[in-house]
Amino acid sequence: MSPKIRVAVAGASGVTGSSVVNALLATRERFEVTALVRPLSLGKQVFVEYAQRGVVVKAVELDGPAGAVAQILAGVDVVISCMTLLQMKEEMTLVTAAHEAGVSRYVPSFFGPVCPPRGVMLAREMKENILDHVKSLYLPYTIIDVGWWYQLSLPPLRSGKVRVKEEYSTTQIVGDGTNPWALVDNRDIGKYLARIIVDPETLNKQVFCYSEVWTQDDVYESWGVVTGESINRNPISKEEILQIISEGEADMAHGDLGSAAMLKLGMAQYKYLLGIRGDDTPEHAKYLGYLDAKELYPDIVASSFKNYMNDLFTGCIKAPYT
Ligand SMILES: NC(=O)c1ccc[n+]([C@@H]2O[C@H](COP(=O)([O-])OP(=O)(O)OC[C@H]3O[C@@H](n4cnc5c(N)ncnc54)[C@H](OP(=O)(O)O)[C@@H]3O)[C@@H](O)[C@H]2O)c1
């Protein structure tokens, strides 16, 4: 039997990180999984459960010197970041440390919709800055983008039976609602990633792994059918989004670099990208040079959005961040 591939995950307790850890543990004969945890979070129940399931939990201060992090990464084959852009500095340190430790593949925290590298949205540009750092070190990498989560695509119900984290979600019909965009069940991300990180064809490449393509019109109609409720379309126009984007850019230009300002600008730019520009499609992914995970791994069955709607409505699962 070939030796296990040693994978270290930063951000393992988060939504994307949990999807990744669960998928790696599902083929535990293949992977040895280490969670890189900031000391502050070591006591969290999720890490106790991970340890019980065979994850090696290691305390790491990513805010510290890269040399110390590199020592912790000694012997690791693949490093995956599932942190957010609020941990940009920590991720830059992780990249440097992964290089120093000689890891054979680094997966930065992209996991977003399809988007050209520069000139469309700030969050993407910040992620590209991380990739620039990766490339400046000739660190082997794979970019994984996934489309927009099912979990952030449904509006709340008037009855109150389903609540969602609205500030992170596309709970308004953007423009006329007819733009198709690629969506993913975030629980599927790990399934794809577990295949991608052992595939030599994906080294130093971008891979797009989405589940289904929907328009918001169709999403809202199906959500109405599943729930039997009339759904609030709460539309937002192109002009309104552009106004929010210019306010957000002005706030940031005046030095407001806090998470609230970033969220306001970021969500408006996501809505513009998804519903107005229409970047997030498999066709645009091909144009931008992504490999398509559906073609690479046709045996992987993506979860359907209709099933997700049913499971959410019947209470089998909860909306994320709630
Ligand atoms: N495509 C989409 O629709 C979509 C939607 C949302 C997010 N995303 C992307 O997915 C990626 C992950 O986001 P997420 O929402 O899954 O993350 P999340 O749930 O917010 O989790 C963030 C993780 O980062 C860890 N963390 C925070 N501060 C840290 C520090 N100083 N040192 C080490 N770890 C730290 C947290 O760990 P502890 O707090 O336990 O320490 C947690 O595990 C991002 O790139 C984001 O842009 C995509």
Whole-angstrom distance, CA of residue 275 vs CA of residue 237: 10
Ligand 1 atom 39 nearest Cα: 41
For position 318, what pLDDT does the model report?
85
Ligand 1 neighbourhood includes 270 CB (under 6 angstroms): no
Phi, psi values for residue 10, rounded to 5°: -95, 140
Q: What is the mean pLDDT of each run of 10 residues along the chain (322 residues)?
A: 93 98 95 98 97 98 96 98 96 98 98 97 96 98 98 95 90 96 97 98 98 98 97 96 94 79 92 98 98 98 97 90 72
How do residues 284-298 score in pLDDT, each as one tens digit?
999 999 999 999 999
Q: Are 162 and 227 a contacting pair, CB within 8 Å?
A: yes
For position 251, what pLDDT does the model report?
87
For position 259, what pLDDT does the model report?
80
Is 127 catalytic? The answer is yes
Ligand 1 neighbourhood includes 84 CB (under 6 angstroms): yes
For position 320, what pLDDT does the model report?
77
Task: Report the separation in Å between the CA atom of 12 and the middle of ligand 1, taken as the mean of its atom positions.
Answer: 8
User: SS3 sequence, the chain?
Assistant: CCCCEEEEEECCCCHHHHHHHHHHHHCCCCEEEEEEECHHHCCCHHHHHHHHCCCEEEECCCCCCHHHHHHHCCCCCEEEECCCHHHHHHHHHHHHHHHHHCCCEEECCCCCCCCCCCCCCHHHHHHHHHHHHHHHCCCCEEEEECCEEHHHCCCCCCCCCCCCCHHHCCCCCECCCCCEEEEECHHHHHHHHHHHCCCHHHCCEEEECCCEEEEHHHHHHHHHHHHCCCCCCCCECHHHHHHHHHHHHHHHHCCCCCHHHHHHHHHHHHHHHHHHHCCCCHHHHHHCCCEEHHHHCCCCCCCCHHHHHHHHHCCCCCCCCC
Sign of CA dihedral 61, 65, 66, 67: negative
How far does Cα 187 stand from its chain's mean position?
11
Task: Report the separation in Å between the CA atom of 156 and the middle of ligand 1, taken as the mean of its atom positions.
Answer: 23
Structure tokens at 77: 């084959």
The total of other beta-carbon atoms located within 10 Å of residue 57's CB is: 18
Q: Which amino acid does the sequence have at 288?
A: L
For position 261, what pLDDT does the model report?
84
Ligand 1 neighbourhood includes 14 CB (under 6 angstroms): yes
Which atom of ligand 1 lies closest to the CA of 11? 43
Which atom of ligand 1 lies closest to the CA of 146? 1
| Alpha carbon distances (Å) from 35 to 25, 31, 293, 302 | 12, 13, 25, 26
Task: Report the separation in Å between the CA atom of 291 and the middle of ligand 1, taken as the mean of its atom positions.
Answer: 24
Ligand 1 neighbourhood includes 275 CB (under 6 angstroms): no
Ligand 1 atom 10 nearest Cα: 111
Task: Report the separation in Å between the CA atom of 10 and the middle of ligand 1, taken as the mean of its atom positions.
Answer: 9
- Nearest-10 Cα torsion for 43, 47, 51, 52: 100
Whole-angstrom distance, CA of residue 166 vs CA of residue 154: 9
Q: Which amino acid does the sequence have at 155?
A: P
Q: Which amino acid does the sequence have at 106?
A: Y
Task: Report the separation in Å between the CA atom of 18 and the middle of ligand 1, taken as the mean of its atom positions.
Answer: 10
For position 81, what pLDDT does the model report?
99
Ligand 1 neighbourhood includes 248 CB (under 6 angstroms): no
Task: Report the separation in Å between the CA atom of 21 and the middle of ligand 1, taken as the mean of its atom positions.
Answer: 13
Ligand 1 atom 18 nearest Cα: 14
Q: Which of 4, 44, 89, 127 is catalytic?
A: 127
Which atom of ligand 1 lies closest to the CA of 84? 44
How do residues 207-229 score in pLDDT, each as one tens digit?
999 999 999 999 999 999 999 99
Ligand 1 neighbourhood includes 262 CB (under 6 angstroms): no
